[in-house]
Amino acid sequence: MYDDNPTLVGIQKKIDESRQGEAFYPEQAREAEESSRHFYIESYGCQMNFSDSEIVASILSEAGYRPTRALEKADLILINTCSIREKAEETVRKRLRIFDKAKEQRPGTLVGVLGCMAERLKSQFLEEEKLVDLVVGPDAYRDLPKLISSAEDGDKGINVFLSREETYADISPLRLDSNGVTAFISIMRGCDNMCSFCVVPFTRGRERSRNAFSIVAEAAGLLDRGYREVTLLGQNVDSYKWENPETGEPVTFAQLLEMVAGVSPELRVRFSTSHPKDITDEVLYTMARHENICNYIHLPVQSGNSRILELMNRTYDREWYMSKVRRIYEVIPDCAISSDIITGFCSETEEEHQDTLSMIEFARYSMSYMFFYSERPGTLAARKFEDDIPMKVKKRRLQEVIRLQTQISYQHNLQDIGKTFKVLIEGDSKRSGEDFKGRNSQNKMVVFPKAKGLKPGDYCYVKINEATSATLKGAIVEG
Ligand code: SAH
Ligand code: SF4
Ligand code: F3S
């Protein structure tokens, strides 16, 4: 989910989707291909950023641009950036060096920086990186066509205005690099929490929720186009709150889940991320009531120690988090829980680090995203606390956390041997064209030999006979 690696987006399949219902003949297609301008977009960071790139692609295609996977064919190169850790920013700077070469070979190509790094560095970006023509923050994507035209006229374009209202609710994302089965739907933007280590409130602005009906309509549209799974996205989905302007009635996250689950029993619903302080029993009961709401909760703990949690300003302590985990397993016994963990936060002692290790054992996470602390300029922690844990120690603690989590994930998966799961087929397995891959409700990847008549987007039942720490293997059985 929080991958610092690049993923290239921008595909023919998407072009086909955007042309739905339109008569389009091969000759015209070729002509349009040749005459239209092309954009290339690379995305970094969290799922929200990948989802934003699909909004950007939609805005650009309305403005006459077509996506391309080939950097050398692009008239416009965009990089949707992440600021969450220093490494994420370094990766972006390296990519900009590569784009610089592409620009030399194709003069006139514009380079634009989007997303969180654009928001964090603002005009400083234009000063530091001479090749950059556009700097556009996460709430200013509607302004892209205008900024592009002014950049074409030689004026550098910048808009990093953060909005209190923008949710892009009316924009139908152009699905990029999609498997045609699973899709993200952004349900809110921004974050009103102030975790002391985190840059997101500064780069994404205030929290706001999207019109619930536009979310349901997007889910229904995806179902019509063959998609079978949606993931509702927000930094803190449990604080989703939207007021129906006609009735004045508020819609909570639990109610929204219910509405999306009601689109079709054939459409699976997932969501991310849940903040432990905000997830309610009502959400858990809603999950338990609907078979198509997946039994999987991403519930980042960050640290297992109460003093560190307080310094992090997470607003819960160890005991409170543990009671939340107990409650989840009580209401949904077969729920899988995953986590985000930071090692070596300011002043963390060895004993406090041990508390994080014991939390992994207690919560029995199916998996975790694990990081060492990276100080971010401007955050509360950067201003108030000293980043005093040596890099060597941060990394050693991270290795211990990874080692333990890998063991726990393996044990978690071993317990699935002999069980039968309903699996949504996503496509061919990475290793072999003879096998399908798909996920079970608990979000575990399942690999199994193909069977006649089944295709991506179909559900099937798979009995598990083998497990690693990352994957389950099995064979199709009768449902
Ligand atoms: N909204 C989500 C997390 C978004 S950021 C939540 O509250 O859980 C994704 C993850 O990156 C965080 O959960 C945290 O584990 C990690 N992260 C954020 N800031 C970081 C920093 N300064 N150093 C290291 N990891 C960080
Ligand atoms: Fe960052 Fe905390 Fe908001 Fe998550 S909840 S995005 S960690 S400030
Ligand atoms: Fe990164 Fe911004 Fe997401 S900082 S993790 S891309 S909200």
**Inter-residue contact 372 to 342 (CB < 8 Å):** yes
Residue whose C-alpha is closest to residue 176's, from 2, 23, 42: 42
pLDDT band at 36 (very low <50, low <70, confident <90, very high): confident
Average pLDDT over residues 137-161: 95
Does the pLDDT value for residue 89 go beyond 60?
yes
Same domain, 104 and 155: yes
Q: What is the CATH number of the domain that holds 51?
A: 3.40.50.12160
Residue 176 falls inside a structural domain: no
Pick from 124, 159, 194: which residue ends a domain? 159
pLDDT score, position 128: 86
Residue whose C-alpha is closest to residue 315's, from 192, 207, 204, 190: 192
Same domain, 398 and 323: yes
Ligand 3 pocket, 53 CB below 6 A?
no
The three-point CA angle 177-292-296 to 5° equals 75
Residue 407 falls inside a structural domain: yes
Residue-wise pLDDT for 282-333, tens only, equals 999 999 999 999 999 999 999 999 999 999 999 999 999 999 999 999 999 9
Cα of 235 vs centre of ligand 2, distance in Å, is 6
Cα of 304 vs centre of ligand 1, distance in Å, is 15
pLDDT score, position 478: 86
Does the pLDDT value for residue 35 go beyond 90?
no
Does the pLDDT value for residue 6 go beyond 60?
no
Residue 305 falls inside a structural domain: yes
pLDDT score, position 102: 87
Residue-wise pLDDT for 184-218, tens only, equals 999 999 999 999 999 999 999 999 999 999 999 99
Q: Which ligand is nearest to the CA of 371?
A: 1
Same domain, 307 and 403: yes
Q: How far is CA 381 from CA 311, 318, 367, 373, 387, in A?
A: 8, 20, 27, 11, 8
* Shortest-distance Cα residue to atom 1 of ligand 2: 198
Helices 253-261 and 212-224, packing angle to 10 deg: 30
pLDDT band at 19 (very low <50, low <70, confident <90, very high): very low
Same domain, 391 and 448: no
**Inter-residue contact 447 to 434 (CB < 8 Å):** no
Same domain, 120 and 142: yes
Residue-wise pLDDT for 68-85, tens only, equals 999 999 999 999 999 999
Same domain, 146 and 42: yes
Residue 386 falls inside a structural domain: yes
Question: Which of 47, 116, 120, 371 should be mutated for ligand 3, with most atoms under 8 A from CB?
Answer: 116
Same domain, 311 and 367: yes
pLDDT score, position 166: 96
Same domain, 328 and 440: no
Residue 317 falls inside a structural domain: yes
Pick from 132, 159, 186: which residue ends a domain? 159
Residue 179 falls inside a structural domain: no
- Which amino acid does the sequence have at 302? Q
In total, how many domains does the chain have? 3
Average pLDDT over residues 17-42: 53
Residue 54 falls inside a structural domain: yes
Same domain, 331 and 435: no
**Inter-residue contact 439 to 426 (CB < 8 Å):** yes
Same domain, 155 and 40: yes
Does the pLDDT value for residue 1 go beyond 60?
no
Same domain, 426 and 365: no
Cα of 417 vs centre of ligand 3, distance in Å, is 36
Does the pLDDT value for residue 11 go beyond 70?
no
Pick from 159, 180, 201: which residue ends a domain? 159
Does the pLDDT value for residue 393 go beyond 80?
yes
Q: How far is CA 434 from CA 74, 89, 457, in A?
A: 36, 39, 17
Q: Which ligand is nearest to the CA of 51?
A: 3
Tokens of 296: 């999987």
Q: What is the CATH number of the domain that holds 448?
A: 2.40.50.140
Residue in the block written with tokens 């290795």: 399
Same domain, 375 and 410: yes
**Domain encompassing residue 424:** 420-477
Residue 187 falls inside a structural domain: no
Tokens of 119: 């928001």
